[in-house]
Amino acid sequence: PRTMLELSEGIDLSPSTTFRLLSTLTYYRYLKRDEQTNEYSLGLACLELYRSFSESNDIRQTALPELEALRNDVKEVVHLAILDQNEVVYLDKLSGLHTVGIMGSRIGGRSPSYCTGVGKVLLAYEKNPTYVEYFDKNPFEKFTDTTITSIESLQEELNEIRRQGFALDRGEHESEVWCVAAPIFDINGEAVAALSISGPSARIAPLDENSELVKKARLTARTISIKLGFNPDR
């Protein structure tokens, strides 16, 4: 929640212009105002927007049956994500069937690309990569002992991902959460999304030796890609 003055300063608009915008957004329920604090927060119309997006998103609709089958098979958390401005946005998250501690990812949430499996695999297959310039202006943040913190290390990792066809996250964003991620391609052969299998390190590490988990992630990603029109023989 933010007050009108906080929002005015944050978006660099005059208070009068900001007030008119807030009034309109509140009228259409995109925002709601707390009568006690005069703070604004997101309204129910935003939830309706998400539902409409979710129902019309071809990638999510195509992928969902395969993601559910994968989750039921491996019993771990399964994510579907895309890349937006060199950050990861989660389109879907299917909860695992095991007991899992706190995992920060959520549908609609964002995460850094350089220290997540889905993010790294999407960076690796980006058709017109912009990450060098992006990370030059947005320094790496070290989240854990295994977080990549330099462009040289990231490029080396991305080369390895392209060579092997999948990415591993060894607790690089959340120390106890490990994952394997695979790219999803569209009819033009572009990586439009990625899926991952995530779980606590105590259960799925070391991923390097968990070839069955890697195989299942890649096979599911391939199946979804073919449904989107991708020709793996091209």
Q: What is the pLDDT of residues 79-106, one digit of tens each?
A: 999 999 999 999 999 988 876 566 778 8
Burial call 203-215: b when 16+ CB within 10 Å, e when fewer? ebbebeebeebbe
For position 224, what pLDDT does the model report? 95
Report whether pLDDT(73) > 80. yes
H helix or E strand, kind and range, residue 200: strand 191-200
- As a whole number of angstroms, the distance between CA 148 and CA 173 comes to 10
Each residue of 137-190: pLDDT tens digit? 989 999 999 999 999 999 999 999 999 999 999 999 998 889 999 999 998 899
CB 192 within 8 A of CB 233: no
What is residue 111's predicted lDDT score, i.e. its pLDDT?
94
Rounded Cα distance, 202 and 207, in Å: 11
Task: Output the average pLDDT for the chain.
Answer: 90
pLDDT above 70: residue 207: no
Q: How sure is the predictor about 210, in pLDDT bands with cuts at 50, 70 and 90?
A: low
> Quick one: pLDDT at residue 57?
63
Model pLDDT, residue 108: 87
Lowest-confidence range among 37-46, 52-61, 123-132, 179-188?
Answer: 52-61
Residue 1: C-alpha distances to residues 5, 22, 34 (Å): 12, 13, 9
Residue 14: CB atoms within 10 A of its CB come to 9
**Rounded Cα gap, residues 206 and 112, in angstroms:** 23
Output the pTM of the full model.
0.76
Q: How confident is the model at residue 2 (pLDDT cuts 50, 70, 90)?
A: very high
